[in-house]
Amino acid sequence: MNSLTHVPTVQIFKTYSPAKDTSFTSSSLVSRAFIFASKAHEGQLRKTGEPYFTHPLAVAQVLHEKFHDEVLTTAALLHDTVEDCSVNIEDIYKDFGDEVGFLVDALSKNLLTFYKEKTSTDFADKIERLLYAGMKDVRVFLLKIADREHNLLTLKYLKDKKQVRVAFETQAIFSPLSRLLMYKRAKSIPACTRRMNAYLERHKLFNATQLKTFLLNETFTNLPSSFFDLVYRNANAVIWRVESEKMYHKLCTLPLLKGKIEFINVKSNGKWLTADFRFNKGAVYNDKHLRIRFSSFKLK
């Protein structure tokens, strides 16, 4: 997944104000969300040392410039308030409406159900919960992709284990989801919705588990959907495998992977080659042809 071209977050933080944005009125959802979120994140810092509010602000600006959707921009400003601040999801629904509430609800990983759901839905993991929501409203996916792309810019500031976990999740779910929606070229929410619905229908993906399996198969050749959460939680202990000299060569020569992978075992008899390795740091590669297999767990 490529990095976004965007204004540096500190500059956005210092210069952007809803009052200066003629797209919204002073009483709009965006203006109220700007004030609400800036207060909620007051005093919080990112791993880079920047004020935390620079992150939701940067995500909101990217989505506003791409889609000009008030609900989506508002949810982007608020998307971390429930997960990282002392804000209740009930207050988001009450103060900003059901659409914004649902988007923030979907991105809040510490919630197990949905506030407005009449019946409880059991999810195998947090990713299935997110996919379930995105299949109902594509703006969940657009918000999460923009959120993840911005967070990848500061991946190196995380501890190594967290880097590997975030990179695995991105490679497994969000990179293929971004390609499915053609996110980088997307400019219209209705167009994204049509594309998603057509894709789901064409591949007969009727629920979150089926969609998760499909996305995993875009990168990994033998990783069952039921293994996802286990691999996610133990990402730095997973041994991966490639089974061709061409793939092994890519692992050795891709600049992005330099110093980030450790080979455990390489075997070849001149006709075939297998190479087992693990990630010691996070890396999200763009080569969709570099498909790797789950091999085993090996605790350090």
Q: Confidence class of residue 119 from pLDDT cuts 50, 70 and 90?
A: low
The two three-digit tokens of residue 122, written as one number = 């059991």
pLDDT for position 236: 86
Task: Give first-to-last CA distance, the chain, whole Å.
Answer: 29
pLDDT tens digits along 203-260: 999 999 999 999 999 989 888 888 899 899 998 899 999 998 999 999 999 999 999 9
Closest to 153 measured CA to CA, from 64, 58, 85, 255: 58
Question: Residue 62, SS3?
Answer: helix
Q: How far apart are CA 64 and CA 17, in angstroms?
A: 13
Active centre residues (catalytic): 83-84
Predicted confidence (pLDDT) at residue 120 exceeds the cutoff of 70: no
pTM reported for the whole predicted model: 0.89
233: tokens are: 């939680």
CA atoms within 13 A on the CB side of 268: 11
Confidence of residue 121 (pLDDT cuts 50, 70, 90): confident
pLDDT of residue 291: 84
Question: What are the DSSP calls for 200-212, one per residue?
Answer: HHHTT--SHHHHH
What distance in Å separates the CA atoms of residue 200 and residue 180, rounded to the nearest whole number?
10
- What the chain holds in terms of domains, given with CATH numbers, is 9-202 (1.10.3210.10), 237-300 (no CATH)
In this structure, the number of other CB atoms found within 10 A of the CB of residue 46 comes to 16
Banded model confidence at residue 299, pLDDT cuts 50, 70, 90? low
pLDDT in tens, 265-280: 999 988 889 999 999 9
Three-state secondary structure along 124-167? CCHHHHHHHHHHHCCHHHHHHHHHHHHHHCCHHHCCHHHHHHHH
Token pair 């996305």: residue: 215
DSSP assignment, residue 45? B
Percent of the chain whose pLDDT exceeds 90 = 72
- How far apart, in whole angstroms, are the C-alpha atoms of residue 137 and residue 142? 10
Residue-averaged pLDDT of the chain: 88
* Tens-place pLDDT, residues 13-47: 344 554 455 555 545 899 999 999 999 999 999 99
Stretch 81-97: mean pLDDT: 95
Residue carrying structure tokens 């207060």: 39
Distances (CA, A) of 105 to 93, 99, 118, 127, 188: 9, 10, 15, 13, 23
Give me the pLDDT at residue 278, please. 94
pLDDT of residue 153: 95
